[in-house]
Amino acid sequence: MARILITGSSDGLGSLTARALVKRGHSVVLHARNDQRAQDARTACPDAETCLVADLSDLSETKKFAEDVNKIGSFDAVIHNAGLYRGPYRKTKEGWPSIFAVNTVAPYVLTCLIHPTPKRLVFVSSGLHHGGDSSLEDLAWTARGEQGSRDSQAYADTKLHNILLASAFARKWPTVKSNSLDPGWVPTKMGGRSASGDIDAAVDTYVLLAEGKGPAEDVSGKYWYQSRLRSPMKEANDVAIQDKLVKQLEEIDGIKAPDV
């Protein structure tokens, strides 16, 4: 039995994956951004161990969330599922668009601050990462600001960041299996009812990487779709770009990735 933390697990793929993992005998810790969402998470997955609350668009809450996670013990796997897709700019206290804070900064910060480091890390990306900006210029949209923001571009950028982070941590920490996945366009609240993707196949991929068994055993730094390896955009495999992202995030949030 494994102990697994899933961010953004009050509904959608996070909740479905939590239920699937509990049925397989694992201990699952849920996460929600506020108390109401936490109640929704517990109702949907009543056999989960517990649910922690934190707004991951707030850097101070993200750091506190890592502290709360550490207080309740170690984890075998963390699934970085929480994410924003479309919507207004919603500037954070740090001046970042919330989509960057939740989709990029939060998984980086949590990966750095959760101790001991889990055996397996799962970063949720998207096929839309192919539209991401691999130059990493104006990473936090501070130069373009709210007037120059485009949520579709910001989302694509952050989904590229998720693949870069998974690969960067796989190289930095060879004892940790760190992978990313594309769940596909599936009919969740984020994907919409018209989505044509296979939601069961998406959940199966989450479970595969969280358990680290079968074709995922001893595999790290790869990108997955429907439980199979898939090639991301070529820039995602560029070590220099991966390292550039990590360095910029270290400077932006002041947290350096530790050695394992």
Residues taking part in catalysis = 155, 159
Going from the C-alpha of 23 to that of each of 36, 45, 76, 125, the distances in angstroms are 24, 10, 17, 25
Between helix 106-113 and helix 59-71 the angle, nearest 10°, is 30
What are residue 121's DSSP bridge partners? 78, 178
Check: CB of residue 118 under 8 Å from CB of residue 75. Answer: yes
Check: CB of residue 76 under 8 Å from CB of residue 217. Answer: no
| Residue with tokens 């693949």, as numbered in its chain | 163
Distance CA 63, CA 58 (A): 9
Distance CA 133, CA 148 (A): 15
Q: Which residues of 237-250 are buried (b: 16+ CB within 10 A; e: fewer)?
A: beeebbebbbeebe
Among the residues of the chain, which ranges form H helices?
12-23, 35-44, 59-71, 98-100, 106-113, 151-172, 199-211, 239-253
